[in-house]
Chains A and B, each alone.
Chain A
Amino acid sequence: MNRNLIIGLILSGIAIFAALVSFIWTPFDHVLLNIPEKLQTPNGTHWFGTDHFGRDIFSMIMVGARTSIAVAFVAVGIGMGLGIPLGLWAAARKGSFIDELIMRANDLIFAFPSLVIAILITAIFGAGAVNAIIAIGIFNIPVFARVVRGAAMPIWEREFILAARVAGKNATRISIEHILPNVMNLLIVQATIQFSLGILAEAALSYVGLGAQPPTPSWGRMLADAQTLVSIAPHLALIPGFAIIITVMGLNLMGDGLRDYLNPRLRVART
């Protein structure tokens, strides 16, 4: 395993571990208001300090990890679930009307940055974590469709595909049995990247109030709350910020590391 992959796994592992542990244990109840202990700096009792309501920031960061990871994870799932079949379909029917239609629809979705999609969805259904998931998920669809189509097209020219055709397999079976396993590595790397982008997008949407709503803790929401207090209690902004940076950086490094690790040519070259 390469260095990027190991560092990436450790950094993103911290967030995932915190999120999982938060289901069974947090040092304090993350919604418990304790005004007498408000705005404490990090100390022995409250490891990351407390916010303006006296809530324990360490516990909020742990539960916030849950929100961030869940939103980004489901959004990547939506992107993969819809994008991969579309990309495979377009590649199988390369140059046809359906290919053109799928790719133009992709271009169209690409013209809507995830924030704009979120604004549209919020204008209709109101703000919330589910709407943030949908917004980020929609934005992920064309990403995966493009990656799959681009990677699948040269594979369709290969001889083993011809052999599969001769054996009587139809395009759907070939796509699932032969094309998909061959583009899987690329998809895993892309999923890692989209996951990290999803965490950033979720934080941004929550920050402007379009994501998770109180009392659900979210790293972006914590930053929004910290904004007016940053001059008297900088730790309120620093800690959620670091949480986001560490997680996103971990995922990016993991993506880079996986790209090298899963590429057999690079692996042979190294040994």
Chain B
Amino acid sequence: MIRYTLKRLTSLFISLAVASMLIFFVIEVAPGDPASFMLGINAQPDTVAALRAELGLDVPKFQRYLVWVQGMLTGDFGMSYTYRTPVSQMIADRMWVSLPLALYALTLSTIIAFPAGMYAAARRGRAGDIGVMGATQLGVAIPNFWFAMMLVLIFAIKLRWFSAGGFAGWDKGLDAVMWSLTLPAISLALPQAAILARVMRSALLDVMNEDYMRTARAKGLTTTQTLWKHGLRNALIPVLTIIGLQFSFLLAGGIIIEQVFYLPGLGRLVFQAISARDLIVVESVVMLLVFAVIVVNFAVDLAYAAVDPRLRART
């Protein structure tokens, strides 16, 4: 296991290094100089040059890359070109919206998917199974931002149970935060729940053909008892993998949902930064999202190998 971990750890660092280079250099070749953009078309060349120097844009690209990476390792993402505040501070503020939203959605999707998948598996081929599977077909086909708009229309505009958008702020208390994140989390969770329920169902169906399941039935357990006691535990491995992968999707997918609900999260930050050519903010947010995906995948791989020793030998 130690050898496997070290091997995966090496590839983790290589992936992160290559990803950071890709992000930095891809964005840096972008046409349009942030300094001239900030000062407008009538700016004097010497003013632009002075601002470039102030923003640290006059040093060679590779040197800037090293400074950027070094800074990120110590939690210093640099200074935003437009807001003149530390990028790390801006990201941290927005994370308090985006992270709880992703976690909330993940919880909801698990709560919906587990019983749905188990129910469908237990009633394989019968009306209940067909109903759940039909619902999941619909779930994966609905664009989550459209579903979000429908939720707003019904629960915010017509019924007035929730606000149509905006974020209450943590100083208003946890319940106010949960309240403002409920509709966004539901809309984010829906397609993920549909996928997870399908994975859960097929994992359980695979497990149900195993000999030990027949033995459990033979010793007198009911189908439901067998599923709970023996099936679920064994089916959980592929399901946990998907849950792990979904977290990073939820974090990135939140970018769109934040637009629907006007939530001040990472998504809105990155779109504002793009239009203001605040490249350092774009780079940092994208790096953070990619970092989350790579690290979560790494953790899932390790967890997988810890559970199933065959995988360690294979890779």
Contact = CB atoms under 8 A, between A and B. Distances in A.
A231 B15 contact: no
Contact of B294 (A111, A125, A208, A226): A111
Interface in B6-30: 11, 14-15, 18-19, 22-23, 26-27, 29-30
B224 interface: no
B256 interface: yes
Contact of A113 (B11, B18, B29, B293): B293
Given A113-B249, A115-B252, A204-B256, A249 B138 contact: yes
Interface residues of A, number: 38
Interface stretch (B66-74, B145-153, B169-177, B212-220): B145-153
A230 B137 contact: no
Interface stretch (B52-60, B179-187, B227-235, B282-290): B282-290
A15 to B, nearest CB: 12
Interface in A121-147: 122-125
Contact of A253 (B26, B137, B150): B137
B197 to A, nearest CB: 15
Given A111-B293, A226-B149, A231-B157, A207 B256 contact: yes
Contacts of A115: 252-253, 255-256
Contacts of B249: 113
Given A237-B150, A241-B143, A207 B15 contact: no
Given A104-B15, A208-B256, A230-B149, A116 B141 contact: no
A132 B58 CA distance: 32
A123 B293 CA distance: 21
Nearest to B260: A227
A238 to B, nearest CB: 8
Interface in A84-141: 104, 107-108, 110-113, 115-116, 119-120, 122-125
Interface in A215-256: 220, 223, 226-227, 230-231, 234, 237, 240-241, 244-245, 248-249, 252-253
Interface in B235-293: 248-249, 252-253, 255-256, 259-260, 270-271, 274, 279, 282, 286, 289-290, 293
With most chain B CB atoms within 10 A of its CB, the pick from A107, A119, A122, A123 is A123
Interface of A is mostly: helix
B142 interface: yes
B138 to A, nearest CB: 7
Contacts of B125: none
Nearest to A250: B141
Given A108-B15, A113-B249, A249-B141, 5 more contacts: A111-B294, A119-B270, A123-B30, A124-B27, A248-B141
Interface of A: 104, 107-108, 110-113, 115-116, 119-120, 122-125, 196, 200, 203-204, 207-209, 220, 223, 226-227, 230-231, 234, 237, 240-241, 244-245, 248-249, 252-253
29 contacts: A104-B11, A104-B15, A107-B15, A108-B18, A110-B293, A111-B15, A111-B290, A111-B293, A113-B249, A113-B253, A115-B255, A116-B290, A119-B255, A119-B270, A123-B27, A123-B30, A123-B274, A200-B143, A204-B143, A207-B259, A208-B256, A208-B259, A230-B157, A237-B149, A240-B146, A244-B143, A245-B138, A248-B141, A252-B137
